[in-house]
Structure 1
């Protein structure tokens, strides 16, 4: 049976209440609010019914005091006096379930008590359901976070296997740099990679990570692509409720990269205030989520990269010297593509093979005069620009030779001092082959065969390029 407490300062009222309901409920009786409080402390009471006018303390005063201690218990007032203000106050404050008048009828009062008991157990059940839902939501959030972490890890693992094979070079300087990677990878020291845009700084960073003993993921962050107002949240994460839209906890990039490598690309674009916070993380190897108090221990390698002159940035007060020293344990400078032109043919062949596979093509080569042009071009966008050009070429090519005639290069296509265009290179190369074959155009060992062209195609090109045999 449910426990019911009835409080009244008149003993006859207590006796009548007990006689009416002892066989339906487990009845507790009290002659004052003080006695009622003692019973509430000792027993789990579902419903409290109290008289309003009692010596020392009114029913509403008792309820105000005890409702906060027993929020699930349902309180009702039973009074012989109809005080409208008291009724209004009691109901408006939400602490009183019903205000009932004496004399009462057993049937109607029993009905109200039954409803109050239902309300009590509904409140308990709802709280349990809310608690279970919160626990399930927490478990779901943890699972979701774990899945997100695994997705990031797997994505970066795929990127590692895909990208590490793209470090292709014959250049002595770059080969020497790649040899240094073996030494660097054996430590957990910070690395600063410098070089122009498109030289392959992230490829080098991934190669260091791949060669290291770190079991965690490679997490790449482009500092220039994140607004100043969001970069702290992106790097360090936040706790649930840290700000208005922060409904769930979110790990930052540093935490996601734990036991692995974090790559801070375009570090020179990082705001000064954020540089200060980053320095603290590097010094103490801990991170705190926004809105949190716990320090999360870190064990990772930090690799930073910039296309800026970092010394000039320090001189102009745009980059912290102490942060530079912290990052610059090892510094690697990647030469631009124009300083390693011998790599251009091997890179072209590498990218042709890559995009043949991607687009289902069978491009086998690039004609010699066009290769000569590609080697002379300065490639201001470096390897990235070359890769984009080759990808477009593979897409638009309809035979086994790479079509570069219609490709769009960087705005700065070629230095004005170099009198070399694709047309001029092609014209000179055809003339050279014609002279080599004594101007034999068709047939075996003719110029068309050596150039890999049909006789009619070569004749059309000769006409277009105004190539005629001098008599």
Structure 2
């Protein structure tokens, strides 16, 4: 994958200076900035004073002690914080300790003595996964951190639209018909179905020569609503240090996408309605009236029928926004798209992380089809990104897929804070594979590393369907 573009910070928590030095040399040679702590207490102080992207944690800090209690206590404490990913360092004989570390939140583990290449690849994988989780958390908070600037494809890999299923082919035909008009469009659909992507598709296939401007209405504080949408003049209010164009002005002769319109309060609804009716607006603090010459596309996942009935949303505004209403079907309603999209995202993410794209096993395909997809296409994209990085075999199997909710899938759910649990069997299988790799498939030596007999190794090989070839 090459050296990281910006230095990532790795914290080594290890009481032995020689081990810290070996790891420091290894990580420095791969372009990482290294911090060292000889104890969990020092590590906690460093975490408060420095940005740390990943932690390498030894489990034992007392001479002649193998309980790992200090390392486990550190993991328990990190469960209560937004900790960076932690990789545990264990001895080959510490199978139960490795399992307990994983159950307390360690993302992975490696044994001493370690393989340099394997450790670096493990780190790169979990650093990339942490970045995916970070981007996902940001997208949950707001589709745009700056009140909805349109996302670029480099930041939103799931923007690609595939028109595979009959439902999506029908939607595509509808979009291409309405794109040629100036009609206001109202997009309905669950979170993660790609409403912003669909809106941009309409803009791209229209005759509009201006920009596509996206606004997340739910992210705009009420006090800044007029300034964000209509702009302001310098000195119009305390923080108005200079003239500023609003979204309507930026979208001149283009398309203005109003996402999450159901989140607007009564005052905001009235102000937006006035502009839609008159097709005119003024910057805050200005007397010059400007023409609103942009096409409006609105979107929401709310139950508008209930909101209209309760008076929570204005009927007149709803009809202004709803000249043409189109519904984007959820992913679970178009099963023909699931595997096709999954393969598409595997290709995209493998290219992004400079990896060889792996095929999906039949079991993985069935698991994808059995899942209910509450997060829709966005969730599928994130899942494939994780699978591309986590898969260890020559294909992506069902065990490489991390499902987030309990449903008819046979996959275990994650806890609320996304700490992946590892069963004793999973850890046993992982250690067995590591031991065989370390000993070049020498069963007797692998048994010595793991502290079990040769016959026990063969029993486990049969149990897990593994081969020494």
> Given the two structures, how large is their TM-score scaled by the length of structure 1?
0.54
- Any unmatched runs of 5+ in structure 1? 1-151, 424-456, 467-471
Query: Higher Cα Rg: structure 1 or 2?
Result: 1
Deviation readout 1:311-358 (Å, 9 max, x if unpaired): 111111111101111111110111111111111000001101111111
Deviation readout 1:439-459 (Å, 9 max, x if unpaired): xxxxxxxxxxxxxxxxxx999
Q: Does 1:263 align with 2:252?
A: no
Q: Does 1:315 align with 2:309?
A: yes
Q: Does 1:463 align with 2:463?
A: yes
Q: Does 1:413 align with 2:402?
A: no
Which runs of at least 4 in structure 1 moved beyond 6 Å after TM superposition? 160-165
Q: Does 1:235 align with 2:239?
A: no
Residues 406 and 356 of structure 1: is their aligned pair in 2 closer, same or farther, counting only changes over 3 Å? closer
- Any unmatched runs of 5+ in structure 2? 1-145, 413-456
Residue of structure 1 in register with 2:216 after alignment: 222
Determine which of 181, 186, 194 is the counterpart of 1:192.
Answer: 186
For residues 337 and 460 of structure 1, what CA distance do their matches in structure 2 show? 39
For residues 189 and 386 of structure 1, what CA distance do their matches in structure 2 show? 32
Secondary structure, counterpart of 1:230 in structure 2: helix
Alpha carbons 1:363, 1:402 under 8 Å: kept = no
Query: What is the correspondence of 1:3-18 to structure 2 with a 5 Å cutoff?
Result: none
Alpha carbons 1:313, 1:319 under 8 Å: kept = yes
For residues 369 and 253 of structure 2, what CA distance do their matches in structure 1 show? 42
Determine which of 282, 285, 288 is the counterpart of 2:282.
Answer: 288
Query: What is the correspondence of 1:288-437 to structure 2 with a 5 Å cutoff?
Result: 288-402=282-396, 405=399, 407-410=401-404, 412-414=405-407, 418=408, 420-422=409-411
Secondary structure, counterpart of 1:405 in structure 2: helix
Secondary structure, counterpart of 1:180 in structure 2: helix
> Given the two structures, how large is their TM-score scaled by the length of structure 2?
0.55
Secondary structure, counterpart of 1:380 in structure 2: coil
Q: Does 1:178 align with 2:185?
A: no
Alpha carbons 1:191, 1:331 under 8 Å: kept = yes
Aligned residues: 275
Secondary structure, counterpart of 1:192 in structure 2: strand
For residues 461 and 342 of structure 1, what CA distance do their matches in structure 2 show? 37
Determine which of 221, 237, 251 is the counterpart of 2:245.
Answer: 251
Q: Does 1:276 align with 2:265?
A: no
Alpha carbons 2:158, 2:378 under 8 Å: kept = no
Q: What RMSD in Å do the two structures reach over aligned CA positions?
A: 2.8
Secondary structure, counterpart of 1:229 in structure 2: helix
